Amino acid sequence: MHRAPVNADRTALRRTLYGIGAALLLSACRTPFGGALPTERASLPEPAATAVTESVPEPGPREPAPAKLEMPTSPDYSLVKPRLSERLAELLVRHAPKLSAIDRARIANALESAQEAHQLDPLLILAIIQQESGFNPNARGYPHAVGLMQIRPFVAADVAKRHGIPWHGPKTLLDPAANVAIGSCYLGEMFEMYPDPALAIAAYNLGPYRVQRFLDRGHSPRPKYLTSVLARYQVFSSQFGPIEPEQIEDAGAE
């Protein structure tokens, strides 16, 4: 008989607690979230925005295709004959001062002969000589390359035989003029094999068989050697100066 009031009190207490809880819940739901967050959270990055930025990068401009390597046009050296060898010898005074005057003259004559026999630009040959040996006639390179144009003896012997150049063994390559004569003939053969001057110059450096393997695989060799030679060629061209017709005086003119 005394438990009923107790149960009634408990029921009333539960209702009171439920009412307070509901009021607190409704109060929390009405709390505005548009205001500023506390200071310690204001400095935190927004991960959602960062994720979107990283996952969807803005497309950048398409990389341009590599520019085609343009070979310089060889000037008409017929306009400077018969003084071509003299002007080449003047260039050698600047770039090969350690060579004797006789050797410089012989090299200049070999360059002129290469221009006549193989239509090779003598300034291009000078650029290759500077690239290969720095005008050191005693230079030795890998593998077993010798002299100004760094020719291997077994290649030089074969080239000399085909072109009727006297061959007295590997020591022949230590003669500056003979080295240039043999090296120019070999370079001329590369131009006959590859009409593209870039491939011909690459073949002189890499060997024709390696260049052909590049081409068979669908690749075109563009070694640093080639760009360096062309840069040196531009220097020689600027120092050689413009080519103008020689003024030949008529001996019978008054």
Which residue did the predictor score with more confidence, 251 or 88? 88
Q: State which residues form the domain around 132.
A: 77-240
Q: What is the pLDDT of residues 48-80, one digit of tens each?
A: 443 333 444 455 555 454 455 666 777 777 777
Q: Please, what is the end-to-end C-alpha distance for the chain in angstroms?
A: 160
20, part of any domain: no
Cα gap 104→162, rounded to integer Å: 26
Tokens 């077994």 sit on residue: 154
Residue at 10 is within a domain: no
Q: Catalytic annotation on 249?
A: no
Chain segment 214-225, per-residue pLDDT in tens = 999 988 887 899
Structural domain includes residue 45? no
Residues 80 and 91: beta-carbon distance below 8 Å:
no
Does residue 250 fall inside a structural domain? no
What letter would DSSP give residue 173?
G
DSSP secondary structure code for residue 141 in this structure: E
Number of domains in the chain: 1
Q: How far apart are CA 114 and CA 124, in angstroms?
A: 11
8 against 216, higher pLDDT: 216
* Interval 96-127: pLDDT, tens: 999 999 999 999 999 999 999 999 999 999 99
CATH number at residue 172: 1.10.530.10
How many Å apart are CA 250 and CA 145, to the nearest integer? 49
Q: Tens digits of per-residue pLDDT, 190-199?
A: 999 998 999 9
Q: Give the C-alpha separation, 36 to 28, whole Å.
A: 17
> What is the C-alpha to C-alpha distance for residues 173 and 84, in angstroms, rounded to an integer?
24
> What is the C-alpha to C-alpha distance for residues 135 and 128, in angstroms, rounded to an integer?
10
For 50-89, the DSSP string reads HHHHHHSPPP-PPPPPPPPPPPPPPP-GGGGTTSHHHHHH
CA separation for the pair 206, 214 (Å, rounded) = 11
Say whether 245 sits in a helix, a strand or coil.
coil
Looking at the domain assignment, is residue 204 inside a domain?
yes
Question: 83 CB contacts (<8 Å, ≥6 apart)?
Answer: 246
Percentage of the chain modeled with pLDDT above 90: 57
What is the predicted pLDDT for the residue at 6?
A: 44
In this structure, is residue 192 part of a structural domain?
yes
Digit-coded pLDDT (tens) for 226-243? 999 999 999 999 999 876
DSSP of 1-18, one letter per residue? Answer: --HHHHHHHHHHHHHHHH
Torsion angle, alpha carbons of 103, 107, 110, 116, to 10:
-140
Among the options 132, 189, 192, 246, which is catalytic? 132
Q: Give the model's confidence band at 25: pLDDT under 50 very low, under 70 low, under 90 confident, else very high.
A: very low
**Which of 233, 97, 100 has the alpha carbon at shortest distance from 177?**
100
- Mean pLDDT estimate for the chain: 78
Rounded mean pLDDT, 139-157: 94
Q: 135: phi > 0 → left, psi -120 to 50 → alpha, else beta; which?
A: left
